[in-house]
Amino acid sequence: MKKPPTWIRRASAGFVASALTAGALTLASAGTPALAGSSPDIPKAGWSPTDQDRLAQAEAEGQQTVDVLVGAQDGQASAVADRLAALGASVDYRDDSLGYLRASVATDRADRIAELSGVETVEIDAALAVPDPRPDASESPAPQPAPGAATPAANPYMPIQDMNAAQFVAEHPTLDGRGVTIGIIDTGVDLAHPALRTTTTGERKIVDWVTATSPTDDGDPTWISMATKVSGATFTVDSRTWTAPRSGSYRFGVFNERAASLGGEVGNDVNRDGNRAGSSGLFGVLWDGDKTVWVDTNQNGSFADETPMTDYKVRYDVGTFGTDNPATPVVEAMPFVVQIDGKNKFVNIGIVSGQHGTHVAGITAGNGLFGGKMTGVAPGAKLVSVRVCMFAGGCTAHALIEGMIYAAKQANVDVINMSIGGLPSLNDGNNTRALLYNRLIEQYKVQMFISAGNSGPGTNTVGDPSVAEKVMSVGSYITDATWRANYGSSSPYQENLHYFSSRGPREDGGFKPNVVAPGSAISTTPTWQSGGPVAGTYPLPPGYSMLNGTSMASPQAAGAGALLVSAAKAEGFQRKPDQIRQAMMSSARFLDGVGAFEQGAGLIDVKAAYALLRQNIKTVGITSSVPVNTVLAGYLATPGVGVGIHDREGVTAGRRYTRTYTFTRTTGGSKAITYDLSWVGNDGTFSSGTSVALPLNKPVDVTVAIDPATPGAHSAILRLDDPATTGVDYQTMNLVVVPYTFRAADNFQVTINDKVGRNQALRYFFQVPAGTPALKVDFTGPTGEPGTGQARFLRYHPYGVNIDDNASTSCFVPAAGACATGSPNSRTTGSPLPGVWEVTVDARRTSDAEWTKFTLTASVLGATVSPNPDVIDSATAGVPVSRSYSLTSTLGSFSGRAVGGTLGSARQGPFTIGNRAVQDYDLTVTPGSTQLRATIGGTSDPAADLDLFVLNCTSGTCVEAGRSAGGSSEESVTINNPAPGAWKVRVDGYSVPSGSTSYNYVDVFTNPAFGTLAVTDTNASRPSGSSWTVPGSVTANAAPGSGRVLYGTVQVRTDTNLLIGSGDVVVRNVG
């Protein structure tokens, strides 16, 4: 694998990436650097950019160890375990049948794991946030009738009828999910909710309840250490005497509801007493060392009056903290289960960590909501609850894996839902979690449904782990009826997607999301929580809330899967995961007016999927490969090649080109099979032949002509269908993006006048050239005056990750909440990555106009300074040297000024480095220095990949303080307020194809003691192409040190203080 580029960096350990605009790197050489020997051990092949950043942060923070998740090649788990041990790693969890290992390894050795023989994937264990599905801060919705006991199964509140699920169950009442068990991998499911107690046949609904977090590694306060041994009829621990249920030997621990990590929705109050003054948050826990646990729920110090409990699945033991007051609507009590870890000597107090899992469970399989006929999708199904999320801080990646393993292997569920995930920049499904989920689906014949993510409406935002190949990734659909019923809002269209629904495709063009399903629902929440409607619509009783997100769409799809499995079991037809996927995707209804990259195959249709599945679908293995063109395409498993057309870069309106697919049939007979080729959702951009014949295991090429006519996203599905088989045999997703370009004739700006419908989103793309100092976006239209609407714009990086928060209150005009990244009307990105940027516009559900008119203006900004460099051969200490600088606005118009700053001591190149060589540059930072910056670039070998590291050696031991290790040689690291003393800048010649290359170099630490560069200027309008001259003066107060020069910059900054140009100032000698 090629080395991935560094992500959009998260600031950590006091360092941030800095662009080359901070200096032009034109200084002359000042000597030859010392050589450090061979290349250092740094993470390269096998590590995603996200994990490179995580590892760098761990090193910068001085973490001694990191936890890693390893996927071994088939049959290699044991050998990989031995190789990890040889590295000094401790293997904490291992499943050889899946090839999965979780290990703790020394931070400075972690980078070696990717290169171990037998390792297929490796990633750093990290927490993923639980999605927040609350529709925050809705304003002035129209009141609506509330759901209740009289609400029928087909309704807009829990719109299961949108998928024909309610209709299917009405026609087949005994195929309602009975005989099926659904795994809910989430925050845990409330055991006390009336709608989650029994199935439609009166059987217990929740048949297993476990916690999958680690008792030793996660700091989960519900895992109680039972290390203390006690005996007798009574015993004393920490000066308190306890009464045992009978005389004997036990292990003892204490559950503390007020532990700092038991906050969140539980709020450190499991017995719901409000933590009144003088009360205790401690509950004794007693274990007989075998299978029985007692919990002192009434806190009286006696276990003799407590009911003995064991693991829930054994006999469904449920305890209760607190005593309910029947006179109040909210239940002042919380149910719990126990779980015994005999190996590690821990007992878990199983409680939900939030409402999310209970809401999901109600959507999949709730029965008799509000005590009436309103149900989830599969009310006859049973549930297994697997809690993988903490009470604060999210859900660990290893719990998401190990909880999934438990559900598939130990709990033997039929269908799994997980409404949790995250958005890495490289969302290609090539990581440990995706590898293992694919293996679980294949080995244990259980289909997983996972939310696509809530990072939309930008393209290529579909989240991990829904990007795993065999997982059903589910986007969020909604009708106008549900907008009205659940939000008191409306839409100009009868059906559409939620704006936040993550869009595809996968980075490699993979078919994600697979389908869409209703993503808004009033469903079950813990009975100890108040009702949660959208404010102003209607009240809801405790235990019911309206939540939205792909978190709610995924359980709709999982419930649909449960209905299909239920029918297959009852009627005796096949139900393997690949058959379920083909039935659902072949029968989904493609939505008009919605791109293929947004909806996948379309809206699930349970009745149509059932009609296909009951024919015992014969699936076939077909693979595809085709060149893709994205900023990250070079870092895919096969560089530059994916499984579907994904050309975000290099496409021009009106310019026709071709892509060549290679299809290979990998299963079935040796005789060639002819497949019909057809396009779905095509706006005329794509064309191909009408059929292809595929022999067994012989690649066949198919040429696709691409002719995009207009700027925007053009997508379609290519279907390969054998008319002799049931369903569509193979489908690929195809997306090309045509951006607007910035031209001098238009003053380097693009202006768009358009309108956006309430609850709708539009998208626009802009090609940002290399070396652009700034990208500015301005937005006007809504004013706050009645009838002008409410809308916003959001920016998306070429990686497909959002720059602005897409929360339902963020950055709107008029404001519905804060805009953390700047003004709602104007925001600028400094040093934007070259490539195609996306800007979306969406209108809020509270907009007072059905259509909001707006003007969106994107422009690129830049400026030059002359002379550059401004070289002063000699200056007298303390005596100002007068200067004059000419500045020019070289790109779009802006308002700004020239500014000076503090001088610094600098070493400058150019230098020369060889392939795999390392060069170290030592420097001593003086007390009072405000910044240390090192920058490299401008290699004579344009293919060279140099990396930059800054090491803090002030303690006597050099520790990495910052790195910039992208896929090119343009690297910069800035350390603010560096400690005085010894530092080291390291340049690594990671890859120099020509053998050696020259490169520009500068390191500089600024300090007021060296002097100042003063410039006199004020903010003013700077039209494109305009120039202005400003006076300046350079005052050198101290010499920079041997072999170094004084260095400063004249900077051009906008009125929002964004740097868009600079020029170097060099003082060679100070007398």
DSSP assignment of 688-742: --SEEEE-BT--EEEEEEE---SSEEEEEEEEEE-TTSSS-SEEEEEEEEE-EE-
Cα(741)–Cα(783) distance, rounded to whole angstroms?
Answer: 29
Cα(710)–Cα(95) distance, rounded to whole angstroms?
Answer: 51
Cα(877)–Cα(872) distance, rounded to whole angstroms?
Answer: 13
H/E run at residue 260: none
Q: Which residues contact 1049 (CB under 8 A, 6 or more apart)?
A: 22, 23, 901, 1013, 1062, 1063, 1064, 1065
| Omega within 30 of 0 (cis) for the link into 1023 | no
Half-sphere CA count of 211, side-chain side, radius 13 A = 28
Spatial contact of 228 and 347, defined as CB atoms under 8 Å apart: no
Cα(626)–Cα(732) distance, rounded to whole angstroms?
Answer: 11
Q: From 914, 939, 898, select the one nearest 1022 (Cα to Cα).
A: 898
Spatial contact of 598 and 505, defined as CB atoms under 8 Å apart: no
State the sign of the Cα–Cα–Cα–Cα dihedral 192, 195, 196, 198: positive
SS3 content of the chain, % helix, strand, coil (to 5): 15, 40, 50
Spatial contact of 231 and 248, defined as CB atoms under 8 Å apart: yes
Cα(1052)–Cα(613) distance, rounded to whole angstroms?
Answer: 65
Q: From 437, 600, 430, select the one nearest 515 (Cα to Cα).
A: 600
551 part of the active site = yes
Cα(94)–Cα(497) distance, rounded to whole angstroms?
Answer: 40
Spatial contact of 1044 and 906, defined as CB atoms under 8 Å apart: yes
Residue of 176, 186, 190, 218 marked catalytic: 186
Pairing of strands 515-518, 472-479: parallel
Spatial contact of 759 and 483, defined as CB atoms under 8 Å apart: yes
Q: From 986, 711, 985, 751, select the one nearest 856 (Cα to Cα).
A: 751
356 part of the active site = yes
Cα(16)–Cα(933) distance, rounded to whole angstroms?
Answer: 10
Spatial contact of 200 and 366, defined as CB atoms under 8 Å apart: no
Residue of 18, 489, 520, 551 marked catalytic: 551
- Per-residue b/e over 1022-1061, b at no fewer than 16 CB within 10 Å? bebeeeeebebbbbbbbbbeeebbbbbbbbbbbebebbbb
Q: Which residue has the tokens 């006076």?
A: 1031
Question: CA distances (Å), 1069 to each of 240, 798, 1050, in order?
Answer: 76, 45, 19
| Omega within 30 of 0 (cis) for the link into 147 | no
H/E run at residue 565: helix 550-571
176 part of the active site = no
CA 878 distance to own-chain centroid: 53
Residue of 193, 356, 398, 714 marked catalytic: 356
Half-sphere CA count of 714, side-chain side, radius 13 A = 23
Spatial contact of 122 and 1, defined as CB atoms under 8 Å apart: no
| Residue 227 burial (C-beta neighbours within 10 Å; 0-12, 13-18, 19+) | exposed
At 349, the amino acid letter reads I
Cα(79)–Cα(101) distance, rounded to whole angstroms?
Answer: 11
Spatial contact of 188 and 385, defined as CB atoms under 8 Å apart: yes
Cα(357)–Cα(399) distance, rounded to whole angstroms?
Answer: 15
Cα(906)–Cα(903) distance, rounded to whole angstroms?
Answer: 9
Bridge partners for 735 per DSSP: 646, 715
| Residue 327 burial (C-beta neighbours within 10 Å; 0-12, 13-18, 19+) | exposed
Residues taking part in catalysis: 186, 356, 551
